Amino acid sequence: MNIGITGASGYVGQFIARYFLDHGYKVRALSRTGHKSGLFPFATGSNFEWVAGDMADRAVLTRFVSGLNAIVHCAYDHLPGRYRGGEGENLSGYLQSNLNSTLLLMQVAHTASVDKFVFISSRAVYATGCLRGNLYEHQAALPDTFYGAYKSAVEAMVSAWAQQRQWHAVSLRLTGVYGVVNPLERSKWYDIARAVVSGEPFTQTRVATEVHGEDVARAVELVLSEADAKGRAVNCSDRLVSYREVAEILQSMLGKRSPLPPEAQGERPAIMDCAYLQAKGFRFGGAKRLRHSLRLLAEAVKLEQKLCH
């Protein structure tokens, strides 16, 4: 199967591209600047290619989708470091770069007879600042940010494409995603790992729902393969993780001791119920994958600091 991935050099896209390459798929990545040297050093020969160009350019998209069996749309244009609030002071430009370009991509892909399309959505479609308890897939989207509104709007179009044109289009709603990426400093909890490796305290506190990037990629593969995923918005979230737990695990692994971040106060975040994936027998990595990922992060940070000195 030939898979096209937009945003393959981004945080979530890296996990998806690596997973599909590791599992024998051919991958085509769309990027504004084309080849990203060193990002996927294991990708060789005809199994991987970059396509350079802007998603607003129909000719670029036509070239990108040609011959693909499926597209995973991860690309998201936003202010650096900001998902919610990523529009800054330019909402119209933000919607042009994200909403309009996504709709153009869907139109071009369907016209080119690309069989399947997965849109990487977000728990931001829920009003998570107000809700507590479980967030269900059948629950009405009620975003309270422009980011969530953009994701919700595309989800509605995914559903419409599936119903009106019988296209295998799916939205996959992600919670926070963790794992080691390139460059290393973009990895979630990098600052905590640096502090622990250096024997310094880390005082910030937070607790949030998280899922490993490889579990995201596995979920993408599942919704591509399941016929009844067509038109659905599927939740993808593993477990609650706090900064304190991360620091505690890293300290235990490295034999370090320093003050731990304080326990997070207040109500816990709402939990996304992942009924569809679980009904298909999907199992998240849980505590075991968390510990494995933190070990990889710690080893990478240790090597980085050694090379810097």
What phi and psi values does residue 241 have, to the nearest 5 degrees? -135, 135
Residues 6+ apart with CB under 8 A from 59: 53
The amino acid present at 12, given as its one-letter code, is V
Residues 6+ apart with CB under 8 A from 289: 212, 214, 215, 238
Query: What 3-state class would DSSP assign to 296?
Result: helix
Residue 83's pLDDT is what?
A: 65
The amino acid present at 139, given as its one-letter code, is Q
Sign of the C-alpha dihedral, residues 49, 225, 24, 291?
positive
Which helix (H) or strand (E) segment is 236 a member of?
strand 233-236
* Cβ(15)–Cβ(177) below 8 Å: yes
pLDDT digits (tens), the chain, 309 positions:
999 999 998 999 999 999 999 999 999 999 887 666 567 766 666 799 999 999 999 999 999 999 999 999 999 887 666 666 777 788 999 999 999 999 999 999 999 999 999 999 999 999 866 556 789 999 988 999 999 999 999 999 999 999 999 999 999 999 999 999 999 999 999 999 999 999 999 999 999 999 999 999 999 999 999 999 999 999 999 999 999 999 999 999 999 988 999 988 877 888 999 999 999 999 999 999 999 999 999 999 999 988 876
For domain 179-209+238-270+285-308, which CATH number applies: 3.20.16, 3.30.70, 3.90.25, 1.10.260? 3.90.25
Distance CA 306, CA 302 (A): 6
Q: Do domains 2-177+211-236 and 179-209+238-270+285-308 have the same CATH topology?
A: no
Distance CA 44, CA 269 (A): 42
Any idea where the domains of the chain sit in the sequence? 2-177+211-236, 179-209+238-270+285-308
This prediction has a pTM of 0.95
Angle separating helix axes 58-65 and 101-111, nearest 10 degrees = 50
Residue 79's pLDDT is what?
A: 63
What superfamily does domain 2-177+211-236 belong to in CATH?
NAD(P)-binding Rossmann-like Domain (3.40.50.720)
For tokens 């235990």, name the residue.
252
Distance CA 230, CA 140 (A): 18
